[in-house]
Amino acid sequence: MNAIDAPVRSWDTHLYEQNHAFVWQCGKDLVRLLAWIADYHRIRIAC
């Protein structure tokens, strides 16, 4: 199968939000924590 024969897939946002939203919802707090840690280290290095 080459790129021409590959099936066309579209992104279904409703399906994602309905079935897989837990991924970004659970990761949201982790991203905030990592951003805070990065900012803390930047401030610490600058001082």
Residue 47 pLDDT: 64
3-state secondary structure (DSSP) of residue 16: helix
C-alpha 37/C-alpha 25 separation (Å) is 20
| Residue 24: predicted pLDDT | 85
**How much is the pLDDT for 39?**
84
Tokens standing for residue 44: 């610490």
Dist CA 38 CA 32 (whole Å): 10
User: What residue type is assigned to position 2 of the chain?
Assistant: N
pTM over 0.75: no
Q: pLDDT tens across 1-47, in order? A: 565 776 777 888 899 889 988 888 888 888 899 998 888 777 777 66
The domain segmentation of the chain, as residue ranges, is: 22-47
